[in-house]
């Protein structure tokens, strides 16, 4: 049951270099009996099982951060880049759907998307290609936990410019002005967070870098600012607040900002996952994450019940010691298979109802 996982992890695929892994996964899904398996126009790996009128999309990502780790299994533990983030969850989707097979009236679509670790180009492409009844997003949160929310993010550069002055003049330099702006931004964030008890509801601010220089008659200083956003603050809200704080300094938006997203807790899909976890002897838990995921891209558009599931310890994301226990992977495959069976026609125990 770990052949899909080991094979996928063995094909190193940092963002922008996913093709070999995509080719392998498409071939793997064909060998597992998927009705269709192909590469879409964005380069995503797509597998389809069944042709019913109701659809469940299982969206994982096939790219990883850079940094190849020798792939090996030691004492039941698989080491390798992507074993946790997020080939473990993606392989779990592939194996679970293969285990469940065709369900009358339903269609499963498994997608290994590209570029998630950069600007989610794969997810941005598929968001208009499907309109599922249910969506499961693959990220590592351990086999017995369900993630129901991910924070948003927004990145910006703030540049302060000043006329050139003599160092003995006592006038404020561009670098000094930039530090003052940073302190104002931080003070606003501290004030916003003062009455927030949960990290998921807070603004999480980071100063990612600072540069300064001068040329001829001008000096400048640049702040590289990142923030993780709560549900109540949209990227537009955040940029508007930054504009107000920085005054006439320059604001440059960087990358693709995404809003936070909180999933509904009381629905049939969540109940099916609770039942699946309990079927394997687990006590399910809900978590809300401080990072972002493809959930943030697709959920607002699809507007269907959605959640995030997948084996692996997210504390190992992007680390040189990334690994997953094969026993945990097996449990996750079984959990999801049971859940999909219940979601597509099986009975759900009363103790799993909210």
Domain borders along the chain are: 3-150+261-352, 155-258
Selected catalytic residue, list 63, 95, 201, 328: 63
What mean pLDDT is reported for the chain? Answer: 94
Q: Which CATH number describes the domain made up of 155-258?
A: 3.30.70.360
Residue 210's pLDDT is 95
Mean pLDDT along residues 103-110? 97
Residue 346's pLDDT is 61
Residue 353's pLDDT is 42
Residue 167's pLDDT is 59
Mean pLDDT along residues 180-204? 97
Instruction: Work out the pLDDT band at 164, boundaries 50, 70, 90.
Output: confident
Predicted confidence (pLDDT) at residue 207 exceeds the cutoff of 70? yes
Predicted confidence (pLDDT) at residue 235 exceeds the cutoff of 60? yes
Summarize pLDDT for 22-75 with one digit per residue, the tens: 999 999 999 999 999 999 999 999 999 999 999 999 999 999 999 999 999 999
How many angstroms from the chain centroid is the CA of residue 20? 22
Rounded percentage of the chain residues whose pLDDT exceeds 70: 95
DSSP 80: S
Predicted confidence (pLDDT) at residue 271 exceeds the cutoff of 70? yes
Residue 171's pLDDT is 80
Residue 352's pLDDT is 44
Q: What is the rounded CA–CA span in Å between residue 339 and residue 140?
A: 17
Residue 181's pLDDT is 97
Could you tell me how many residues make up the chain? Answer: 354
Mean pLDDT along residues 173-198? 96
Q: What is the rounded CA–CA span in Å between residue 243 and residue 239?
A: 6
Residue 170's pLDDT is 61
195 tagged catalytic: no
Mean pLDDT along residues 270-278? 97
Mean pLDDT along residues 113-131? 96
Residue 216's pLDDT is 75
> Is there a contact between 121 and 42 (Cβ–Cβ < 8 Å)?
yes
116 tagged catalytic: yes
Instruction: Work out the pLDDT band at 166, boundaries 50, 70, 90.
Output: low
Instruction: Work out the pLDDT band at 336, boundaries 50, 70, 90.
Output: very high
Q: Which CATH number describes the domain made up of 3-150+261-352?
A: 3.40.630.10
> By 3-state DSSP, what share of the chain in percent is helix, strand and coil, each rounded to 5?
35, 30, 35
Selected catalytic residue, list 95, 115, 116, 341: 116
Residue 88's pLDDT is 98
Q: What is the rounded CA–CA span in Å between residue 354 and residue 351?
A: 8
Q: Which of 56, 50, 53 shows the shortest CA–CA distance to 304? A: 56
């Amino acid at each position: 049951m770990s052949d899909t996982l080991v094979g996928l992890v063995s094909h190193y695929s940092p963002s922008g270099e996913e093709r070999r892994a995509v080719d392998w996964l498409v071939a793997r899904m064909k060998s597992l009996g998927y009705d269709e398996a192909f590469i879409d126009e964005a380069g995503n790996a797509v597998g389809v099982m069944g042709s019913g009128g109701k659809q469940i999309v299982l969206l994982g990502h096939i790219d990883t951060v850079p940094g190849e780790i020798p792939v090996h299994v030691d004492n039941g533990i698989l080491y390798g880049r992507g074993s946790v983030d997020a080939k473990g969850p993606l392989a779990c989707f592939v194996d679970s759907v293969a285990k469940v097979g065709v369900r009358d009236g339903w269609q499963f679509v498994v997608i290994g998307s590209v570029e998630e670790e950069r600007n989610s180009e794969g997810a941005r492409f598929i968001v208009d290609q499907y309109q599922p009844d249910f969506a499961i997003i693959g990220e590592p949160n351990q086999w017995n936990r369900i993630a129901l929310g991910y924070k948003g993010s927004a990145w910006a550069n703030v540049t302060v410019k000043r006329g050139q002055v003599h160092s003995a003049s006592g006038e404020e330099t561009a670098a000094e002005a930039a530090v003052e702006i940073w302190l104002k931004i931080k003070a606003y964030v501290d004030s916003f967070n003062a009455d927030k008890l949960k990290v998921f509801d807070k603004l999480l601010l980071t100063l990612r870098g600072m540069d300064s220089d001068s040329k001829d008659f001008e000096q400048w200083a640049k702040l590289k600012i990142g923030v993780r956003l709560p549900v109540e603050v949209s990227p537009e809200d955040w940029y508007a607040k930054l504009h107000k704080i920085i005054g006439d300094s320059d604001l440059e938006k960087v990358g693709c900002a995404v809003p936070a997203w909180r999933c509904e807790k009381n629905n049939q899909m969540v109940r099916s996952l609770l039942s699946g976890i309990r079927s394997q002897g687990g006590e399910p838990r809900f978590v809300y994450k401080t990072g972002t995921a493809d959930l943030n891209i697709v959920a607002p558009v699809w507007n269907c019940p959605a959640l995030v599931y997948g084996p692996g310890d997210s504390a190992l994301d992007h680390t040189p010691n990334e690994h997953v226990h094969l026993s945990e992977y097996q449990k996750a495959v079984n959990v999801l298979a049971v859940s999909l069976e219940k979601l597509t026609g099986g009975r759900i125990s009363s103790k799993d109802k909210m």
